[in-house]
């Protein structure tokens, strides 16, 4: 069991602003007039649509089939009619479109027939497929498929349940642990058995005493080795590598994952989703989301997946001076480019922002290399160096300084005295590196296609030459077998042999011509037959001078070769 806690490098302590929304129980959000369900629920895969416009669906019915290794299914959040399948803006800073299924609810909220399973009496592969088809993913924000994260069932000693919820303003996991602790731990036990771990450790920041008490009470009657551990409130203690370091002391090396060290993390929301998928046969069709910030009625609401954000906001009552909305927390979230974007499985918070609550950042000043960012970085990087390399487009050097180990937590931006948006520079550098790698890969594929085309053309030329040589040899063999074939006297010149081949070919052509009977020449009238004979006579008269004027030589018979075959 955990006997002591460890400390990770860096971290900050911003104002938590948890009390604004954590003191109210979870409330159900009403069914909106229209649901927009994206077929892409994470950045790694998109589901294959299996419904058509005009089709009636039930709550929990699969509308998107998992495809690809990292795919998961997508389901109808309520009963209704599929209105259209079209592109709609997605919950991303770019505001780009993604394929969505638009459903018009019928208000009946009728479920499909649900099929719970017993994981103890079910094959492990079947259970993992059940989780995939139920659309269970990481509910902490990344939405990584849980059935993939469970691995092959070996090599994991400790399963960590992440209840830290370290980012300011967000309280959906806090309320979930307070109200549904037993369901969360039941899902954690199922995950523990599937992954083959020996113990479960639940890490919760110590600024959530009610959640800690509720989880400890729910863990007491369980036979599994479960330990509820309060961890110091320090952002970003909820990061996977940081929480592993705090609870186990294991330092995850650059470019490695916790599974390589016998540890695997799941969010408490994922544990709850697993419980509902296994015990009740319910796919993921809703989630708890925090509505807070510059609002008059903050709280946590259980809303259907696909609910447009603009229909959720009236539940919290944004104030008049609200000028933008943040999806996610203030540290790692982003300003919504469009309020029509739908709620997805990874959406945990919407913050109404105003200039009074979130003042605009001061103008960016030159870096003074004070190294405050390096002291605050939880990934133990040197952000001031990464800043210079990113700004100067020296992306190779940025990679040498482990750019891709940056978790974009925002600690460096938070402490920078020059107000430099460091994370924005790092995101730019990452995107440029990915774009260049895609260009290099495309160029490499084009080069491979070009080289294969040249190889194919050369191969076809060689095959054609071989066929022609084989045919010529076959022709020579046939001529040699004919009774009137020229003798193979060595005194005969190559020109004579060539003449003989040409003469034989012309003779065969004449024989083929004589064997062909002209069409439409039967039962001709005497006048028509006389006209045809006259035409043939004129042709013979015109061809005779050409044959007489042809000089004899090695190419003798060429004019005969050019005679058209009629």
User: Domain-by-domain residue ranges, the chain?
Assistant: 19-353, 361-481, 491-514+555-566
Q: What is d(CA 331, CA 409) in angstroms, rounded to the nearest whole number?
A: 6
265 phi/psi in degrees, rounded to 5: -110, 140
DSSP 404: G
Confidence check: pLDDT of 534 > 90? no
Instruction: Provide the greatest CA pair distance for the chain.
Output: 120
pLDDT value for 492: 52
On the question of pLDDT at 283 being above 70, the answer is yes
Distance between CA atoms of residues 203 and 225, nearest Å: 14
Identify the pLDDT of residue 3: 67
Per-residue CA distances from 38 to 57, 72, 186, 332, 384 (Å): 16, 12, 29, 22, 38
Q: Which residue has the higher pLDDT, 529 or 204?
A: 204
334 pLDDT exceeds 80? Answer: yes
Mean pLDDT, rounded, for 153-166: 93
pLDDT value of position 555: 46
Q: CA 433 to CA 525: how far, in whole Å? A: 85
| Per-residue model confidence (pLDDT) at position 475 | 79
For 169, the token pair is: 């303003």
CATH architecture assignment, domain 19-353:
3-Layer(aba) Sandwich (3.40)
- Collapsing DSSP to helix, strand or coil, 452 comes out as helix
Summarised one tens digit per residue, pLDDT across range 423-436 is 999 999 999 999 99
In the prediction, which pLDDT does 493 show? 60
**Higher pLDDT pick, 493 / 472:** 472
| DSSP per-residue string spanning 478-537 | HHHHSTTPPP--TTS-HHHHHHHHHHHHHHHHHHHHHHSPPTT-TT--HHHHHHHHHHHH
Q: What is the DSSP string of 34-82?
A: -EEEES--SSS--PEE---TT-EE-BT-EEEE--STT---EE-SSSEEE
Phi-psi sector, 475: left (phi>0), alpha (psi -120 to 50), beta: alpha
For 29-59, the pLDDT digits (tens) are 999 999 999 998 777 788 999 999 999 999 9
- Judged by average pLDDT, the poorest of 152-166, 212-226, 246-260, 499-513 is 499-513
Q: Looking at residue 490, what is its pLDDT?
A: 47
Q: Where are the beta strands (DSSP E) in 339-492?
A: 349-353
Pairing state between β 299-304 and 286-293 = antiparallel
Which one, of 344, 11, 351, lies nearest residue 164 by Cα? 11
C-alpha to C-alpha distance for 485 and 479, rounded to whole angstroms: 6
Looking at the predicted structure, is the pLDDT value of residue 117 above 90?
Answer: yes
CB of 141 within 8 A of CB of 269?
no
- What are 62-76's pLDDT values in tens digits? 999 998 888 899 999
Nearest Cα neighbor of 156 from 198, 124, 125 is 198
Q: Indicate if the pLDDT at residue 375 is higher than 60.
A: yes
Question: Whose structure tokens read 């040249």?
Answer: 454
What mean pLDDT comes out for the span 162-189? 96
| Model pLDDT, residue 551 | 54
Q: What percent of the chain has pLDDT over 70?
A: 90
What pLDDT, in 10s, does the model give residues 67-106? 888 889 999 999 999 999 999 998 887 778 899 999 999 9
Count other C-beta atoms under 10 Å from residue 165's C-beta: 32
CB 284 within 8 A of CB 345: yes
Q: What's the confidence (pLDDT) of residue 312?
A: 95
Question: CA 352, CA 343: separation in Å to the nearest integer?
Answer: 16
User: What number is the average pLDDT over the span 329-358?
Assistant: 92
The Cα–Cα gap between 423 and 408 comes to: 6
Nearest to 566 by CA among 533, 536, 529: 536
Separation between Cα atoms, residue 112 and residue 269, nearest integer Å: 23
In the prediction, which pLDDT does 313 show? 95
Distance between CA 250 and CA 535 in Å, rounded? 102
pLDDT digits over 379-423, tens only? 999 999 999 999 999 999 999 999 999 999 999 999 999 999 999
Round to whole Å and give the CA distance between 398 and 385: 8
Look at residue 523 in the predicted model and tell me its pLDDT: 73
Q: How many CB atoms lie within 10 A of CB 184?
A: 28
Residue matched to tokens 């509505």: 291
| Average of per-residue pLDDT values in the chain | 89
Question: Residue 143: its pLDDT value, please?
Answer: 85
pLDDT at position 509, please? 77
Based on its alpha-carbon atoms, the radius of gyration of the chain, rounded to whole angstroms, reads 39
Confidence of residue 557 (pLDDT cuts 50, 70, 90): very low
């Amino acid at each position: 069991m955990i006997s002591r806690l460890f400390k990770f490098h860096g971290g900050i302590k911003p104002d938590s602003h948890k009390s604004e929304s954590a003191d109210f129980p979870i409330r159900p959000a009403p069914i909106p007039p229209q649901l927009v369900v994206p077929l892409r629920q994470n950045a790694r895969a998109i589901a294959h649509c299996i419904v058509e416009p005009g089709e009636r669906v039930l709550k929990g019915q699969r509308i998107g089939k998992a495809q690809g290794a990292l795919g998961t299914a997508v389901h109808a959040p309520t009963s209704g009619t599929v209105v259209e399948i079209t592109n709609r803006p997605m919950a991303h800073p770019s505001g780009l479109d993604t394929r969505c299924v638009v459903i018009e609810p019928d208000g009946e909220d009728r479920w499909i027939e649900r099929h719970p399973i017993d994981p103890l009496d079910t094959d492990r592969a079947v259970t993992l497929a059940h989780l995939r088809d139920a659309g269970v993913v990481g509910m902490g924000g990344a939405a990584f498929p849980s059935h993939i994260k469970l691995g092959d069932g070996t090599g994991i000693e400790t399963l960590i349940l992440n209840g830290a919820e370290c980012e300011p303003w967000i309280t959906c996991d806090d309320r979930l642990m307070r109200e549904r602790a037993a369901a969360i731990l039941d899902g954690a036990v199922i995950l523990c058995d599937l992954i083959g771990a020996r113990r479960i450790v639940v890490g919760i920041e110590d600024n959530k005493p009610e959640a800690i008490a509720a989880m400890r009470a729910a863990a007491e009657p369980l036979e599994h080795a479960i330990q509820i551990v309060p961890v110091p409130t320090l952002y970003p203690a909820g990061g996977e590598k940081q929480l592993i370091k705090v609870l186990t002391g294991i330092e995850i090396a650059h470019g490695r994952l916790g599974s390589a060290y016998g540890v695997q993390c799941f969010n408490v929301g994922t544990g709850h989703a697993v419980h509902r998928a296994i015990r009740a046969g319910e796919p993921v069709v809703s989630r708890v989301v925090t509505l807070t910030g510059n609002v008059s009625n903050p709280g946590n609401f259980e809303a259907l997946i696909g609910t447009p954000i603009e229909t959720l906001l009236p539940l919290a009552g944004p104030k008049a001076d609200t000028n933008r909305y943040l999806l996610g927390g203030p540290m790692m979230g982003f300003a919504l480019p469009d309020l029509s974007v739908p709620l997805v499985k990874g959406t945990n918070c919407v913050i109404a922002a105003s200039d009074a609550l979130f003042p605009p950042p001061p103008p960016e000043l030159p870096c003074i290399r004070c190294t405050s960012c390096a002291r605050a970085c939880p990934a133990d990087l040197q952000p001031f160096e990464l800043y210079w390399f990113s700004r100067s487009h020296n992306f190779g050097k940025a990679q040498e300084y482990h750019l891709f180990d940056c978790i974009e937590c925002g600690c460096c931006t938070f402490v920078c005295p020059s107000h430099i948006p460091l994370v924005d520079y790092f995101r730019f550098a990452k995107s440029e590196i990915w774009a260049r790698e895609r260009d290099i890969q495309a160029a490499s594929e084009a080069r491979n296609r070009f080289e294969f085309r040249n190889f194919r053309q050369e191969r076809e030329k060689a095959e054609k030459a071989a066929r022609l040589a084989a045919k010529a040899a076959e022709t020579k063999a046939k001529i040699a077998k004919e009774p009137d074939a020229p003798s193979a006297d060595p005194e005969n010149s190559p020109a004579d042999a060539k003449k003989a081949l040409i003469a034989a070919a012309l003779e065969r052509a004449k024989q083929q011509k004589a064997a062909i009977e002209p069409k439409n020449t039967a039962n001709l009238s005497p006048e028509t037959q006389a006209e045809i004979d006259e035409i043939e006579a004129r042709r013979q008269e015109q061809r005779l001078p050409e044959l007489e004027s042809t000089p004899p030589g090695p190419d003798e018979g060429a004019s005969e070769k050019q005679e058209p075959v009629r």
